[in-house]
Amino acid sequence: MSFSPLAILVLVAAVDMSFGPSRVVLGLLAIVPLAAANILGRRATAAYAVAALVVAAALGVFDEQYSTGTWPVQAVRLVGIAAAGLLAVGGCSARLHREARMRELVAEAARARAQAEKSELIAGLAESLQRSLLTDPPQLDDLEITARYVPAAEHLKIGGDWYDAFPAPGGRTMLVIGDVAGHGQPAAAAMAQVRHTLRGITQLLELSPAAVLEALDAALTNLDARVLATVVLAQITRTRSDSRPGLAVRWANAGHPPVVLARADGRAELLERDPDPVLGIGFRGSRRDHQVTMDDGDSLIMFTDGLVEQRRRCIDEGLERVRATSAATVHQPLERMCDTVMAHPHHAGDDDIALIGVRAQLTRPGADAGHPAAAPPWTG
């Protein structure tokens, strides 16, 4: 590649000498550094600029351009060749800078593409893991259970929100709604750890919800899990009063938004009690159980804070909206009721949402003997 400017230099000198002193073409030597600037580095371009100026000065002697009448023109030629050399060096520097920047952009694009592919793969695996953890809730003869999950659009579609519903020894049905602090793969992994630990405790120990959360908090501390989580754990058992069947709901709340209880007659209330501290902060005190009864047609709505909490808005507004919506839709099928509650008009996708809805159906034939069935809970 370096032969081209040299060839031009030799060619111009040869032509000038072959034409003789009377036909001066040495001004064409200005082409030499300009040609070098397009293909060579700064040092080589500067060297060709100097070489072109030296050759032009030497050819001026051959062409007799230093006499009294011709030297001003020759001086202009030499200044022009020198100026061309300076322009060539400057242009070469600009070209090299552009090429270096282009290489950086290409490398950045390649790294970004590789990172995007890696993130997409990780997100896909994590989302598949989370889908496998958010299993279909059991369907019992005296309980209809449905669940929803909408991932956050801003955090690779995975997070720490989860729901759970499962049978436990003693004829109990356990309902869980929880939120592990954080987003992305770490939150999903921590959520899985909390979920499995809680399930294990309820299967091995027939404890009240408050006692289960105490044991869960102690287990997380002993395992050095370093997890912060809010949880509502509810236990539902069948009761009879004056031969009238009902359901007893016993629950404990570890720093989570309150549950909504919508009565079949259209009344709805937030089961607001002073919540106990969140899990994972080393709380050593006693947690408290709360209790309420459900009659036929009553519905329980449990949800995470993504449904009611938003920047620049008070959480009380979101809670009231969920309560009012639950009251207005309690006569609708549970699936439709949960869909309506989930249709938060102000939800911007900046946090994931989990929701689980439960309806007492005590007068349906066969309600005395529960049996599991399944309903697809995943939406969004």
Domain presence at residue 127? no
Closest CA to 270 of 345, 328, 320: 320
CA–CA dist 97, 82 (Å, integer): 23
Residues 75 and 207 in one domain: no
- Asked whether the beta carbons of 148 and 160 are under 8 A apart, the reply is no
Write down the pLDDT at residue 314: 80
Residues 151 and 284 in one domain: yes
Specify the residue for token string 């994590």.
Answer: 126
- Asked whether the beta carbons of 164 and 235 are under 8 A apart, the reply is no
CA–CA dist 357, 244 (Å, integer): 23
Residues 95 and 177 in one domain: no
Report helix, strand or coil for 364: coil
The upper half-sphere exposure of residue 21, i.e. CA atoms within 13 Å in the direction of its Cβ, equals 10
Range of the domain at 13: 3-101
Residues 310 and 227 in one domain: yes
DSSP string, 256-320: PPPPEEE-TTS-EEE----PBPPBTS---S----EEEEE-TT-EEEEE-GGGT-BTTB-HHHHHH
Write down the pLDDT at residue 197: 94
Write down the pLDDT at residue 6: 81
In the chain, the number of structural domains is 2
The upper half-sphere exposure of residue 28, i.e. CA atoms within 13 Å in the direction of its Cβ, equals 16
Domain presence at residue 307? yes
Domain presence at residue 377? no
The 10 Å Cβ neighbour count of residue 18 is 9
Specify the residue for token string 């509810």.
Answer: 234
Residues 163 and 245 in one domain: yes
Residues 18 and 70 in one domain: yes
Q: Which CATH number do you get for residue 264?
A: 3.60.40.10
The 10 Å Cβ neighbour count of residue 334 is 19
Write down the pLDDT at residue 243: 62
Spatial strand order in the sheet of 299-303:
143-150, 353-360, 299-303, 260-262, 268-270
User: Between the CA atoms of 281, 284, 286 and 288, what dihedral angle is there, to the nearest 10 degrees?
Assistant: 0
Query: Helices 315-329 and 334-342, interaxial angle, to 10°?
Result: 160
Q: What is the bridge-based pairing of β-strands 172-183 and 159-168?
A: antiparallel
φ, ψ for residue 369, nearest 5 deg: -125, 105
Q: What is the mean pLDDT of each run of 10 residues along the chain (380 residues)?
A: 71 76 74 84 86 81 76 82 86 88 91 83 64 73 90 65 92 94 81 92 94 94 89 91 80 96 96 91 92 95 90 82 95 95 66 91 61 38
Lookup: tokens for 117: 């592919």
Residues 94 and 145 in one domain: no
Residues 89 and 173 in one domain: no
Closest CA to 46 of 82, 78, 3, 74: 82
Residues 228 and 329 in one domain: yes
The 10 Å Cβ neighbour count of residue 375 is 14
Domain presence at residue 206? yes
Write down the pLDDT at residue 373: 37
Specify the residue for token string 């590649």.
Answer: 1
Residues 59 and 180 in one domain: no
Write down the pLDDT at residue 199: 94
CA–CA dist 130, 122 (Å, integer): 12
Residues 153 and 77 in one domain: no
